[in-house]
């Protein structure tokens, strides 16, 4: 029995001091219901919330969200896998439907990051690294990804310009996405001239903390046609973990959980990387997108810099990636990100992506990394 998506909703990402966290969640939930044909709120059997709880004044979000969106007394709980919390929620919803426990499940990814200062978030996020051996000594997320970038440059000759090209591309596509935090293009000069964060990463190599929410409605093959003419199906769902501590990773130029999760998903669907027509990958930092090209097999290990330099990840290239702007331009409300990625793939496979449409896309992929690679979820979707 196939499981698919019959409704999508995506709020504006960015500074959302206009809304409480439950109001933020309601916006895409309502859109997703309106996106279906005749699916009513009472048809939904369960609500899975993807979020990292600790960034909000309000804790235990499913309680407040379920009440606010009118889902009581239906089943609800939260999933957390750091920045991949939204994809963990999708995987949970998939299992809920596949198991026959629930027929129709709403997934809401939601995060209001901006209740805290950047410094507070940086400190809290650092604690998603290994506290006992690493973050206690001052490691931060930009620091971890700078380690990856330095090693990639050293080992493969990747250049700062190649890395910065990811930001050029994603800000270009972000300029076409009305839900993105940043909707204007950025030049190579501006990126390379921006302030250092952690060498070689500069301000424009880092995604921004953002508020935001996104929602998908999922159901089984039997019911899907009732609610939409264009269900988009989950065909492969890979999920893997890697060492918490980067000290114990086999190397610093790949995310082992991403390699493993991609392998699982490709095998389940029986496709190869070159069959993927459009992909959303976890570009929390520019170097992360380059590693993703390689970990997903869009190019071989070490060739990611060349891949973006040749514009192979642009529309028209071998593997269009993050053509909605990615985390880089959309912003990264952590719990919402995996759901947002999925929504872009749904739009692409429906042929509804407007100016950023990849012509004729029938198969797409999401790659959502939690923490500094402790978790990766890779989902393959098909029209």
Query: Any idea which residues carry the catalytic annotation?
Result: 83, 332
> In this complex, which beta carbon is closest to its own copies, that of residue 13 or of residue 94?
94
CB of 296 within 8 A of CB of 258? Answer: yes
Shortest distance (Å) from residue 85 CB to its own copies: 8
Contact residues for 328 (Cβ-Cβ < 8 A; gap 6+): 166, 167, 170, 171, 174, 207, 283, 286, 289, 322
Which residue number, 257 or 319, has a Cβ lying nearer to its own copies? 257
Q: Give the length of the chain.
A: 383
Return the number of the residue (51 or 286) whose C-beta is nearest its own copies. 51
Which of 256, 273, 297, 302 lies at the binding interface for its own copies (CB under 8 A)? 256
Binding of residue 223 to its own copies (CB under 8 A): no
Instruction: Write out the binding residues for its own copies, residues 27-46 only, by CB under 8 A.
Output: 46
- Please say which residue, 214 or 262, places its beta carbon nearer to its own copies: 262
Helix (H) or strand (E) holding 173: helix 160-174
Q: Which of 19, 95, 192, 252 binds its own copies (CB under 8 A)?
A: 95
Write out 239-294 in H/E/C secondary structure. EEECCCCHHHCCCCCCCHHHHHHHHHHHHHHCCCHHHCCEEECCCCEHHHHHHHHH
Burial class (CB in 10 A: 0-12, 13-18, 19+), 59: exposed
Cα separations (Å) of 76 from 2, 65, 378? 23, 9, 24
Closest CA to 151 of 285, 248, 284, 252: 252
* Residue 91 in contact with its own copies, rule: CB under 8 A: yes
Contacting residue, 140, 183, 243, 357, with its own copies by CB under 8 A: 243
> Is residue 221 close enough to count as binding its own copies by CB under 8 A?
no
What is the x/- site pattern for its own copies, positions 44-83, by CB under 8 A?
A: --xx----xxx--xxxx-xxx-xxx--xxxxxxxxxxxx-
Report d(CA 284, CA 329) in Å as an integer. Answer: 10
Does position 260 interact with its own copies (CB under 8 A)? The reply is yes
Q: How far is the CB of 365 from its own copies (least distance, A)?
A: 17
Q: How many residues bind its own copies (CB under 8 A)?
A: 62
Q: How far is the CB of 40 from its own copies (least distance, A)?
A: 18
Separation between Cα atoms, residue 364 and residue 381, nearest integer Å: 5
> Would you say 122 and 66 are in contact if contact means Cβ atoms under 8 Å apart?
no
Q: Site residues for its own copies, window 106-125 (CB under 8 A)? A: 124
> Could you say which residues in the range 300-359 bind its own copies, by CB under 8 A?
none
**Binding site residues, its own copies, CB under 8 A:** 20, 46-47, 52-54, 57-60, 62-64, 66-68, 71-82, 84-85, 88, 91-92, 94-96, 98-101, 124, 127-128, 130-132, 237, 239-245, 248, 256-257, 260, 370-371, 374-375
């Amino acid at each position: 029995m196939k499981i698919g998506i019959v409704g999508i909703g995506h709020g504006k990402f960015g500074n959302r001091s206009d809304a409480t966290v439950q109001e933020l969640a309601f916006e895409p939930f309502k859109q997703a219901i309106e996106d279906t044909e005749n699916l009513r709120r009472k048809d939904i059997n369960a609500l899975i919330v993807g979020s990292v709880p600790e960034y909000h004044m309000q804790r235990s979000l499913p309680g407040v969200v379920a009440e606010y969106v009118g889902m009581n007394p239906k089943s609800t709980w939260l999933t957390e896998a750091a920045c991949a919390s939204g994809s963990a929620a999708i995987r949970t919803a998939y299992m809920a439907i596949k198991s026959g426990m629930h027929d129709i499940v709403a997934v809401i990814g939601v995060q209001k990051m901006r209740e805290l200062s950047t410094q507070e978030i940086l400190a809290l996020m650092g604690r998603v690294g290994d506290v006992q051996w690493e973050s206690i000594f001052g490691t931060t997320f930009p620091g971890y990804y700078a380690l990856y970038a330095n090693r990639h440059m050293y080992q493969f000759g990747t250049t700062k310009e190649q890395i910065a090209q990811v930001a050029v591309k994603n800000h270009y596509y972000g300029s076409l996405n009305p839900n993105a935090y940043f909707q204007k293009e950025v030049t190579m000069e501006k990126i390379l001239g921006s302030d250092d964060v952690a060498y070689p990463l500069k301000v424009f190599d880092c995604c921004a903390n953002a508020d935001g929410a996104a929602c998908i409605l999922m159901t089984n093959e039997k019911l899907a046609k009732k609610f939409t003419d264009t269900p988009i199906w989950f065909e492969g769902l890979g999920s893997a973990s890697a060492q918490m501590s980067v000290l114990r990773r086999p190397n610093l130029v790949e995310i082992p959980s991403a390699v493993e999760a991609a392998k699982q998903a490709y095998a389940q669907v029986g496709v190869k990387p070159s069959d993927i027509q459009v992909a959303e990958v976890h570009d929390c930092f520019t170097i992360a997108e380059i590693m993703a090209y390689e970990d997903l097999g869009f190019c071989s290990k070490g060739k990611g810099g060349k891949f973006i330099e040749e514009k192979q990840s642009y529309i028209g290239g071998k593997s269009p990636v993050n053509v909605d702007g990615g985390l880089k331009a959309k912003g990264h409300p952590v719990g919402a990100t995996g759901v947002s990625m999925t929504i872009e793939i749904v739009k692409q496979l429906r042929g509804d992506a407007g100016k950023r449409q990849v012509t004729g896309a029938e198969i797409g992929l999401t790659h959502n990394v939690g923490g500094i690679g402790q978790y990766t979820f890779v989902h393959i979707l098909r029209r």
